[in-house]
Structure 1
Amino acid sequence: MFSLLLIVIYLAFISLGLPDSLLGSAWPIMNVELDVPMSYAGIVTMIIAGSTIISSLLSDRLTSKIGTGRLTCLSVLTTAVALWGFSISRSFLAICLWAIPYGLGAGAVDAALNNYIALHYASRHMNWLHSFWGVGASISPYVMSYFLIRNNNWHKGYQAIAIVQFILTAILFISLPLWKPKETSQAGTTKKKHSQPQKISQTLRLKGLPYALVALFAYCALEQTTGLWATSYLVQTRYIDSTTAAKFASLFFLGITAGRFISGFISERLGDRRLIRMGILTFFLGVFMIILPTSYTLFPLVGLVIVGLGSAPVYPALMHASPDNFGVENSQAAIGVQMASAYIGTTFMPPLFGLIATKISINLFPIYLVLLAVVMIYTTEKLNLATKFGKKSHTLYSSSLSEQQTLTINEKEADAHEKKD
């Protein structure tokens, strides 16, 4: 039962990644057919991001009412319907309207699943599951390109991914009984803590949470800025041909996917906090290779891949540490708010660098990344200090323990604890 549910969750993470790269792959054809400027893709992504932020903030309330399993099933169904809506759209306005349920479905399931994994599974699964998100994000462009090459039909590409999402919805629906034992156990653990969903203002008062919000904001800003602007920097500043630069820019995301897979094997031994430190230090090494003043183009190209490897463990580790940092009873609300902050960074910081590149110079690209990394290392270390001595009143799920092992701290005596399966 345990292993079967884990397989279902892995499929759910693939479904999370499937839609994320469709718009970028199809937009050069879509904007011509819809008769809108190329820049209008930004409007669609902003609507999706805004809807995702809203549903992330509501994830605690939704999970409390219907449970993680049902919310996951409903969210994937909502995304499938939205993708089908994209496929039948013949106007830009219709695309914008379907972007709303698209974002709402993505945010709710992302926050709910991250919390569920943080509570019930070992740290390695958080890394591997986010690696599987990368698998989904890598598959969909190939699906879209298949239909674009055959008949220049982006509608069929969206339909194909929508059908896959409908199939995954059916699998999730059948698997609903598998979720109940753990959800019942979780509800029993947290019932005395808070029987009602938390208000956002209440969640924001959690000790150390502001540092986590800024850290995730900076991380997602860094990841998306690198993905969007790395090719332009390599071409314009390091004079690397566009084809080679584009290939290595794509390897940045492959580096993230591979890095999360590798992190899964060492996360149990290192723990979330050391994994974050190691990732950020590796990132700095990658940036150093990018800016190294040498005529050898291999250095900046390899540096970009190392940046991806270093970035890989930061997001999963911060998610997995949430019950440890903020308490089981607060983790769903905390993760929802953290993900909203992450999406804000994804939405606004890459365009900000675009403005800097246009008005000043694209040569500032590595400096921009370093500044974001400095913010990450500062806020994650402050988070560690803030939460180190604040664990007397909540249950801790230790990232260093094996699956199903938890460390329970008595509310009255912080030092009295026992292991339980």
Structure 2
Amino acid sequence: MSSISNGVVTPIQDDAPRSPDSADDSHLAGPTVEQAQTIWNPYKNRFRVLSSCLTVFGNGCNDSAPGALLASIEKHYSIGYGTVAILFVCNAAGFVVAAFFINALAVKLGRAKTLIIAEALLMLGYLSIILTPPFPAVAASFFVLGIGMAIHLAIGQVFCSNLANNTAILGLYQGSYGIGGIAGPLIATTIVSRGFLWSRYYILQLCLAAFNLVFSTWSFWNYELESELDHVASQQEGSERTGARAKRSWNAFKRLVSNKPTVLGACFIFAYQGAEVAISGWIISFLVQFRRGDPTKVGFVTSGFWAGITVGRFTLSFLGHKIGERLFVFLVTFGALILELLIWFVPSIPGDSVAVAFSGLLLGPIYPCAVHIFNRLIPKKMQVSSLSLIASVGSSGGAIAPFITGILAQREGTYVLHPICITLFIAMGVCWWLLPRVEKKREE
């Protein structure tokens, strides 16, 4: 739920003297002088980029498939909307828990061994679901999956962000997630429509995780030895006293939560991912309940939504940069709100399906445009931590909004999806309006 954080962090020259307070944040600032690696040098970086794209492709498949499987899960366990919505919460809870130890784990073990843990957790979760255990065990498996996905998402995100020409590489990385978002519902709907048990979809996810276990471990093996900077940073981290490190982390956290762009950005992405995951997870149930759609056919609507998001990120992001991200985000958010009203009040499955796809098209470029603005409003030495906090809060939105939708749908019906999403779009607009304006000199 994952929906993805797309911050671009590049090393900078900084010879200015630091105050005692700023020294507390020195671990966030990155290197002072460093030659960025490229996708071609060292040689294994090309495989590391591919590995990162494959793992985030798996995340996309995992995040988008439940929308096509919810009806089958409800029928199999004889449960309602409110109960099945727990899956979204458990998955996001895994992301939140993982945020507390990912960095320490990567520093202690290195990227390759940390990725082994991530993929092993994914394999454990998928294997448990394939066995079709009681529903509480399925919910626990989604929690385990959340931890595994959060770990390799963080490692792949940071790796791609710090390569030279990172804009193009991050575009490939984001696109891989979108392609997974398209493929997941297509495959899941096909499996269910042919009479197979819903849990059999996760056999494919298990195979992908097994492949990534081998490929990502091989590609990232000895990564720290090839990056003198990371090696030195790891040594410094290991040599620090525990008390001093804890104090410094607490001071850095206080600065994060007092930074206006970080707080507003977190609220904005919370609402954005909440709307995105709620639409992806519940639109099919709405079409089945209120439009009398055939679950074996309308399941493909979710793929249309993710296809819109993917195309929007590849195409409209450039338009946003041309006319200005601040105005552009207002326009596409308003457009998504209008489309949500059309889906709610126009009783036509073909019309609703097209509107859902166009809604994804407008929502797609919002995240990249938002991060572009965040990178200019947040001090460079805080960007890594700030964007990580924003992504974690966003993941919570991707759990809370679908969960509330499920709880209310249990009593009122799945039409509640639309007022919830409209409220989230309005909240996005308010948070975006409250963000400070980017200074022109910082946009150059």
Query: What range is the shorter-chain TM-score in?
Result: 0.7 to 0.9
Mean CA deviation greater in 111-120 or 21-30: 21-30
More moved, 58-67 vs 96-105: 58-67
Q: Equivalent residue for 2:121?
A: 78
Is the alpha carbon distance of 1:178 and 1:383 closer, same or farther for their aligned partners in structure 2, counting shifts above 3 Å? farther
Whether 1:274 and 2:316 are equivalent positions in the alignment is: no
Deviations 1:34-56 (A, max 9, x none): x4524432233322221222113
Q: 1:10 to 1:380 in 2, by over 3 A?
A: same
1:194-225 CA distances to partner (integer Å, 9 max, x unpaired)? 97583444532345211111011110122123
Residue 174 (str. 1) matches residue 174 (str. 2) = no
Cα distance in 1 for partners of 2:357, 2:181 equals: 18
How far apart, CA to CA, are the structure 2 residues paired with 1:362 and 1:85?
Answer: 29
Alignment pair present for 1:111 and 2:154: yes
Give me the whole-angstrom Cα distance separating, in 1, the residues matched to 2:64 and 2:141: 16
Once the two structures are TM-superposed, the CA of residue 290 in structure 1 deviates from its matched residue by 5.2
2:251 is equivalent to residue 208 of structure 1: no
**Amino acid aligned to 1:83:** Y
1:177–1:55 CA distance, 2 compared to 1 (3 A): same
Partners of 2:229 and 2:415 in 1: CA distance: 53
Q: Which moved more, 1:321-330 or 1:99-108?
A: 321-330
Q: Which of 86, 92, 95 lines up with 1:43 in the alignment? A: 86
CA contact (8 A) 2:91 2:145 kept: yes
Deviation at 1:327, TM superposition (A): 4.5
The DSSP-based 3-state class of the residue aligned with 1:159 is helix
Q: Report matched runs for 1:9-88 at 5 Å.
A: 9-26=52-69, 28-30=71-73, 35-39=77-81, 40-68=83-111, 70-88=113-131
Deviation per CA, 1:105-127: give whole Å up to 9, x if none: 12233234334333435334334
Structure 2: tracts of 5 or more residues without a match: 1-42
Q: Distance in 2 between matches of 1:155 and 1:361?
A: 26
Report the Cα distance in structure 2 between the residues aligned to 1:212 and 1:383, rounded to whole angstroms. Answer: 8
1:333 to 358, 364, 385: 385
Which region of structure 1 is more displaced relative to structure 2, 124-133 or 142-151?
142-151
Counterpart selection for 1:283 from 309, 315, 333: 333
1:26 is displaced (CA, Å) by 4.5
Equivalence map 1:4-403=2 (5 Å): 4-26=47-69, 28-30=71-73, 35-39=77-81, 40-68=83-111, 70-120=113-163, 121-144=165-188, 148=192, 152-177=196-221, 179-180=223-224, 184-185=228-229, 196=245, 198-199=249-250, 200-230=253-283, 242=293, 248=301, 250-263=303-316, 266=318, 270=321, 274-275=324-325, 277-289=327-339, 291=341, 302-319=354-371, 324-353=376-405, 368-385=420-437
- The residue identity in structure 2 corresponding to 1:5 is R
The letter of the residue matching 2:332 is: T
Q: Take 1:154 and 1:233, find their aligned partners in 2: how far apart are those partners?
A: 19
* Per-residue deviation, residues 340-371 of structure 1 (Å, max 9, x unmatched): 21122112223435666787897776564444
Q: CA deviation at 1:337?
A: 1.8
Q: Provide the rounded CA distance (Å) in 1 between the counterparts of 2:284 and 2:131.
A: 33
Say if 1:261 and 1:80 are closer, same or farther in 2 by CA, change over 3 A.
farther
TM-score, normalised with respect to structure 2: 0.70
Q: Given the superposition, is the C-alpha separation of residues 304 and 112 from structure 1 closer, same or farther in structure 2, using an over 3 Å criterion?
A: same
SS in 2 for 1:339: helix
Question: Using the alignment, how far apart are the partners of 1:254 and 1:133 within structure 2?
Answer: 11
1:409 — aligned with what? Answer: none
On the 8 A contact 1:123/1:320 being kept in 2, the answer is no
SS in structure 1 at match of 2:150: helix
Q: Secondary structure at the match of 1:152?
A: coil
> When the two structures are aligned, how many residues end up with a matched partner?
386
RMSD of Structure 2 on Structure 1 (CA): 4.3
Counterpart CA distance in 1 for 2:207 and 2:70 is: 20
Letter in 2 for 1:218: A
CA–CA distance in structure 2, aligned partners of residues 26 and 366 of structure 1: 20
Would the alpha carbon gap of residues 97 and 361 (structure 1) be closer, same or farther in structure 2, given more than 3 Å must change? closer
Q: Which whole-Å CA distance do the structure 2 matches of 1:25 and 1:90 have between them?
A: 19
- Contact (CA 8 Å) 1:56, 1:339: kept in 2 or not? no
